[in-house]
Amino acid sequence: MGMWITEVSEGRIVFAAEPAEYQYNPLGTVHGGVAATLLDSAMGCAVQSMLPAGTGYTTLEIKVNYLRSMTSKTGVVYSEGKIIHLGGRVATAEGRITDADGKLYAHGTTTCIVLRPQG
């Protein structure tokens, strides 16, 4: 999908990606699944950054609000994920997709299950 990490800290990560025509839907804009994938990746990695080595997670639920369409002319977008809550079994995070000028394209939240090692 051509995304890369631009910032990482504990509980926060930013991915960047440049929307392209091969990601278009029949309406001539980038498919909403691209935004969902960017948000899922950023929010999930924000959760992962808070977990001890050997502990994993998986997405239980994701909610995405689409505010405006992306096209190949949008330029690079940034998907920022931040942890909201980390419990023993459940974690939540929020995310935002913005362009270089800070214009908001989508935002979302996720609930993840924490997969601690057995034994």
Average model confidence (pLDDT) across the chain = 95
Using the predicted structure, report yes or no on whether residue 28 has a pLDDT greater than 90. no
pLDDT, mean of residues 21-26: 87
Look up the pTM and report it. Answer: 0.94
The string of pLDDT tens digits covering residues 50-88 is 999 999 999 999 999 999 999 889 999 999 999 999 999
Q: Alpha-carbon distance 43 to 45, whole Å? A: 6
Per-residue model confidence (pLDDT) at position 106: 98
Domain 3-115: assigned CATH number: 3.10.129.10
Per domain, the residue ranges of the chain are 3-115
Per-residue model confidence (pLDDT) at position 102: 98
CB neighbours (10 Å) of residue 101?
6
